[in-house]
Structure formats: structure tokens, C-alpha cells
């Protein structure tokens, strides 16, 4: 985690330099604002990763003498198959389509979004995946 934190901090320094040069050279406010916002996001991610790395034990990726096998083992828990993202995707697509076609389409997209969100939040509280 220390490496990733440093990478994002150095990336934010680079983006800040690019934002300043771009802002002075182009005098275009939208691109300059976007670059400064990218700088802020990089700083936030880099600070979070560096802060988290200080509170964790050293990982194999932080050791220069580590082998690939040192980080082997269980990666984490991943949810099994789920139909909820499909419902959220279709509902979100209809919601964004309602901006172009008409707001009446939101009446059809909102139930899909709510059902998908409800199902995704509570998919481990009922059904075959209840005890995972």
C-alpha cells in the first residue's frame, strides 16, 4: 500500500504542474478546472492509501525481496452471481434516457432502480446465499 500511496502523491504533483502550465498557456477555464479537480482527487486517494498503509502490516508488495508466492492465499470474498446489477443498469439507462425523451419515462425507471437497489442490498439476507 505504501507504493500505491506514493504513486498517487507523485501523480498529483504531476497533474498540478500540468494544470498550472495548461491554465497559464491556454487561459481556458473548463480544462483548467478539470485538471485541478483531478489533482484534488489524486491527493485524496494518495492520502488515503498512505494513511491506511501506516496502520497496516507490511504487505509483500512493500518488500523488495519478496517473491510472487509470498502474497498467495485467499484474496477475499466475492459475491456469487446476481441479477440485481442488470435491473439497476436497465433502470439507470431508462432514467438517463428520460432526460432526452421525456420525464414521463422516469415513472418506469424508478421502480426498476428501487427493486434492483433493494435486492442488491438484501441479497445475502434471504435465498440460497443467506449464510455467506
Q: How far apart are CA 110 and CA 117, in angstroms?
A: 10
Number of CB atoms found within 10 A of residue 4's CB: 17
Distance of CA 13 to the CA centre of its chain: 21
Phi–psi pair at 75, nearest 5 degrees: -85, -40
Q: How far apart are CA 21 and CA 42, in angstroms?
A: 18
pTM: 0.54
pLDDT tens digits for range 81-131: 888 999 999 999 999 999 999 999 999 999 999 999 998 888 887 766 666
Number of CB atoms found within 10 A of residue 17's CB: 12
pLDDT at 1: 67
3-state class percentages of the chain: helix first, strand second, coil last, to nearest 5: 75, 0, 25
Number of CB atoms found within 10 A of residue 121's CB: 10
pLDDT tens digits for range 35-92: 999 999 999 999 999 898 888 777 777 777 878 777 777 777 777 788 899 999 999 9
Amino acid at each position: 500500500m505504501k507504493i500505491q500511496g506514493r504513486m498517487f502523491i507523485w501523480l498529483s504533483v504531476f497533474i498540478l504542474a500540468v494544470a498550472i502550465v495548461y491554465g497559464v498557456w491556454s487561459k481556458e477555464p473548463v480544462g483548467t478546472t478539470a485538471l485541478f479537480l483531478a489533482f484534488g482527487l489524486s491527493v485524496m486517494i494518495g492520502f488515503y492509501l498512505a494513511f491506511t498503509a501506516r496502520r497496516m502490516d507490511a504487505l509483500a508488495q512493500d518488500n523488495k525481496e519478496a517473491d510472487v508466492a509470498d502474497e498467495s492465499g485467499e484474496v477475499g470474498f466475492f459475491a456469487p452471481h446476481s441479477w440485481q446489477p442488470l435491473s439497476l443498469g436497465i433502470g439507470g439507462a431508462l432514467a438517463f434516457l428520460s432526460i432526452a425523451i421525456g420525464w414521463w419515462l422516469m415513472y418506469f425507471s424508478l421502480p426498476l432502480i428501487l427493486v434492483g437497489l433493494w435486492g442488491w442490498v438484501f441479497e445475502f439476507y434471504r435465498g440460497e446465499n443467506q449464510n455467506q
